A and B are shown apart, each in its own frame.
Chain A
């Protein structure tokens, strides 16, 4: 099992450019999440999905869109990148969110720099 994979690993964008981050998991998890991590802020939830075809907003959704067309993939889109979106983006997946058996498995992260 590859677990959770993310592409690309690193990207530099100019302000106003668009891009899509891809997250894939091979654990048949229902739930998938996109977080961003910034110094001093901790991990913040951008969007999440509780199953194929569903998406929902997290704590900091503005400027991002997501799609979950296939159960194993969760895409994060930036339509018009801004320097404030410079961050490390982590994708995660879990079987279910509740209970002590909950474990979110994280991908290796995507480092995004917006100039």
Chain B
């Protein structure tokens, strides 16, 4: 079983839609979580960190549920420019390494 698992998608949504991605992690020692965005043939870039209390950055909201060991990302009012692959990432303090999920692909259409 992969340490961080994501639905690969693709999620095809119209502009203006709300879309949510979930990610599960298996290592309870994972302490910090992040969402990275990766455009086609580009490098990953940090989208947002995920705080235990949940956090919001504009149209993006991230949630962490430690009891169920999952992280979510909600995108409201989707834009064409949101089309990308979203990587769920866990940091384990045991190893000081980031563990990347395989990504969820989002395609926003007009």
Contacts and interface: CB of A to CB of B under 8 A. Distances in A.
Interface string B9-21: 0000000000000
Contacts of A97: 91, 96-98
Q: Chain A's interface: helix, strand, loop or mixed, by majority? A: loop
Given A97-B97, A100-B32, A107 B91 contact: no
B100 A43 contact: yes
Interface size class of B (residues with CB under 8 A): 20 to 34
Interface residues of A, number: 22
Interface of B: 2, 4, 8, 32, 34, 41-46, 49, 51, 87, 91, 93, 96-98, 100-103
Interface of A: 35, 40-45, 48, 58, 90, 97-104, 106-109
A40 B102 contact: yes
A98 B97 contact: no
A106 B44 contact: yes
Contact of A42 (B41, B45, B96, B100): B100
